[in-house]
Amino acid sequence: MPPLLAIAHRAGNDVAGLRAALDAGVDLVEADVHLFRGALEIRHRKALGPHLLWDKWELVRRRTIVLPELSDVLDAAAGDPRLMLDLKGPAAAVAPQAAALLRGRMPEAAVTVCTKHWRMLDSFEPPVRRVLSASNRPALGRLLRRLRRQPEYGVSIRLGLLTPPVVAELRRYVDQVMVWPVDTQAALSHARALGVTAVISKDLALLGEVLRSR
């Protein structure tokens, strides 16, 4: 069984979080990429019209916050390939624009790209590592059918959707089975029992435990 990979969930959404996660030694740092008015914005919050952003119980005005762009994240990474870019919809143009930026800035880097919008991955070629994400049961079913026809580098799946047999089948077609959210000891124990190869967590201390256990 290979060592469990440690992935910092959303840590790449600001420069300080990115540097902290990289310095902690995690295997990958996730950053959420949106396209807004031609700019590749880094943010988890969703847009509510042109002026508002929201996430669960939070609503903020764009003018009150500073959002980094993908180029800022690449600058902060300083050539470190331990990035996992999570491409968000609905603007399909986010993919070719992000791919062009990676080719220009880090052409030899094995950066990981993840998305629930799987067609976006067609914009990326090796050495980029492609990861298909699924967050509900219908999507997981479609994902399994696709992988039987076309294996990929990895998948990123919501923890509650997985069972040991499903993980075993996924591992026939991909190198990495990543699972989220893993933010508690109980979730980490469950992920280990499932046989996944990577955990995605917002808790750097928990990821440190994963790294020390290797």
For each successive 10 residues of the chain (214 residues), what is the average pLDDT? 91 95 97 95 91 89 93 96 94 94 96 97 97 98 97 98 98 98 98 98 97 94
pLDDT of 92 = 87
Report CA-CA distances (Å) from 31 to 7, 15, 71, 165, 190.
11, 10, 12, 30, 25
pLDDT of 90 = 80
pLDDT of 2 = 77
At 4, list the tokens.
């469990």
Q: What does the buried/exposed string (b/e) look like for 39-73 if buried means 16 or more CB atoms within 10 Å of the residue's CB?
A: ebbbbebeeeeeeebeeeeeeeebeeeebbbbebb
DSSP type of residue 110 = -
pLDDT of 149 = 96
pLDDT of 208 = 97
